């Protein structure tokens, strides 16, 4: 495994996690990876949605996962927004779903290859990467320029994990020098041709909520993966640090997320973005953990403020229409805020083995909702019955608008979609 001074996933981190894994932890990881081996390779070219005007099937174009069929129109369009309620049909069939499953597959397989010492997982990860990024018939173009609006860029925030995983892939016949160069070329085109220059990206860079800090994390991840540390430093200095004023109140609240229907989750998600950026900054010799904003609030103090709510010591005072973040998500967050002396409760949480230690690995995605959604054509009667309650309200349909019923076999009730709680 190659070491990079500016990525989280160093050989030392892998060895540290490997020492803590129990046999049941390894079996859990093996079950996840083996299930992925049986899945088809993922590509955005498989989406049933026709490309928008001027685009091809190789261009990323999608609809937000909180969009649902309009109950007041015969076609179900235009979509209506139900904040915090994921539409399972879109998660399965939009380009968003296909790219998320690609991220999930590659990162899980790479982790399994390292911790289970089985090259089959590395080989399949390489095959998935080539299928999504290189093959002429199935590749994704290195741009998001056909998104209907800038906020869709956040759907690619899992590039942070993907780049960590790719950086650790060993030299194998399926992933040699030619493949590495092709992937780096794709990343260069995405960074220079879209993230740094396209109007949609520039608009997203100006977002005041979690979208802004996750934009920073994504851009910094690409810059560091490509060895462009000066660009990463500029992004932190010119954009991430100024964001602290608008994000954190003098009490430690995360102001831009308080209006959301799942405000506790989005406060966690905002902190997760900051964990990536602050971690990258630390490796670049910059301390964002203790840097005060104009209100005197620091990132460490914001984390401490939220621990009362994360650990159920205080009731969350704002709207939260569904469950809290899961143990694997807290494990990821606390492991990235690696400050045991200042955040001893986070260190104790990790020591208590609340979740499989593999979730401490930044190069792994806690993407349960994508893992459980079958990437097959939309026919709700082909979905195993035991999976239905996990992602849809059967009485109200699968979230497919009537205008698409012909595509999904006509087995979806017309009218309004359900209110999935995933």
Residue 242: pLDDT band (50, 70, 90) is: very high
- The pLDDT assigned to 198 comes to 97
Whether residue 85 contacts residue 68, with contact meaning beta carbons closer than 8 Å, is answered with yes
**pLDDT tens track for 367-411:** 654 443 333 333 322 323 333 233 233 333 455 555 444 333 333
pLDDT higher than threshold 60 for residue 221: yes
Residue 88: pLDDT band (50, 70, 90) is: confident
Residues 6+ apart with CB under 8 A from 412: 89, 378, 380, 397, 398, 400, 402, 405
**pLDDT tens track for 331-342:** 999 999 999 999
Average pLDDT for 82-101 = 90
DSSP labels, 169-236: ---BTTB-HHHHHHHHHHHHHHIIIIITT-HHHHHHHT-SSHHHHHHHHHHHHHHHHTT-HHHHHHHI
Phi, psi at 287, each rounded to 5°: -105, 105
Average pLDDT for 244-255 = 97
Structure tokens, 13: 């981190």
d(CA 89, CA 407): 12
DSSP labels, 61-98: ----TTEE--TTSTT--S-EE-TT---HHHHHHSHHHH
* Residue entry with tokens 């296909």: 98
- The pLDDT assigned to 410 comes to 32
- The pLDDT assigned to 400 comes to 54
- State the CB neighbour count (10 A cutoff) for residue 287: 11
- The pLDDT assigned to 301 comes to 98
Whether residue 233 contacts residue 286, with contact meaning beta carbons closer than 8 Å, is answered with yes
Residue 2: pLDDT band (50, 70, 90) is: low
Structure tokens, 351: 């020591």
Answer with the residue of higher pLDDT: 5 or 66: 66
**pLDDT tens track for 26-53:** 999 999 999 999 999 999 999 988 888 8
Q: Is residue 109 helix, strand or coil?
A: helix
**pLDDT tens track for 158-200:** 999 999 999 999 999 999 999 999 999 999 999 999 999 999 9
- The pLDDT assigned to 402 comes to 57
Which has the minimum average pLDDT: 119-133, 247-261, 399-413?
Answer: 399-413
d(CA 284, CA 166): 21
Handedness of CA 73, 77, 78, 83 (dihedral sign): positive
Q: Which domains does the chain have, with CATH numbers?
A: 17-205+371-412 (1.50.10.100)
Answer with the residue of higher pLDDT: 297 or 64: 297
């Amino acid at each position: 495994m190659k070491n990079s001074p500016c990525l989280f996933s160093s050989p030392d981190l892998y060895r540290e996690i490997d020492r803590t894994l129990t046999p049941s932890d390894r079996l859990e990881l093996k079950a996840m990876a083996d299930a992925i081996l049986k899945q088809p390779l993922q590509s955005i070219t498989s989406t049933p949605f026709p490309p928008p005007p001027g685009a091809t099937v190789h261009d990323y174009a999608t609809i937000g996962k909180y969009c649902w069929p309009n109950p007041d129109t015969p076609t179900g369009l235009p979509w209506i927004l139900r904040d915090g309620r994921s539409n399972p049909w879109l998660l399965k069939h939009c380009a968003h779903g296909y790219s998320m499953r690609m991220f999930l597959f590659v990162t899980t397989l790479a982790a399994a290859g390292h911790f289970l010492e089985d090259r089959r997982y590395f080989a399949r990860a390489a095959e998935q990467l080539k299928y999504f990024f290189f093959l002429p018939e199935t590749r994704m173009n290195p741009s998001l320029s056909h998104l209907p609006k800038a906020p869709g860029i956040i759907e690619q925030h899992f590039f942070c994990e993907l780049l960590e995983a790719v950086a650790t892939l060993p030299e194998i016949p399926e992933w040699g020098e030619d493949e590495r160069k092709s992937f780096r070329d794709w990343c260069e085109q995405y960074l220079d041709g879209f993230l740094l220059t396209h109007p949609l990206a520039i608009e997203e860079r100006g977002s005041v909520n979690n979208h802004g800090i996750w934009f920073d994390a994504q851009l910094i991840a690409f810059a560091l993966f490509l060895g462009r540390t000066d660009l990463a430093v500029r992004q932190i200095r010119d954009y991430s640090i100024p964001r602290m004023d608008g994000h954190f109140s003098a009490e430690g609240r995360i102001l831009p997320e308080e209006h959301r229907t799942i405000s506790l989750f989005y406060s966690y998600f905002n902190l997760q973005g900051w964990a990536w950026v602050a971690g990258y900054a630390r490796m670049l010799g910059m301390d964002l953990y203790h840097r005060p904003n104009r209100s005197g609030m620091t990132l460490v103090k914001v984390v401490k403020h939220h621990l009362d709510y994360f650990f159920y010591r205080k009731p969350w005072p704002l709207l939260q229409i569904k469950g809290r973040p899961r143990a694997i998500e807290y494990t990821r967050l606390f492991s990235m805020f690696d400050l045991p002396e200042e955040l001893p409760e986070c260190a104790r949480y990790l020591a208590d083995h609340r979740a499989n230690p593999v979730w401490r690995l930044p190069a792994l995605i806690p993407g349960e909702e994508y893992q459980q959604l079958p990437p097959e054509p939309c026919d709700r009667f082909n979905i195993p019955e035991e999976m239905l309650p996990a992602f849809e309200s059967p009485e109200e349909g699968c979230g497919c608008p009537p205008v698409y019923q012909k595509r999904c076999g006509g087995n979806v009730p017309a009218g309004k979609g359900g209110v999935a709680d995933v």
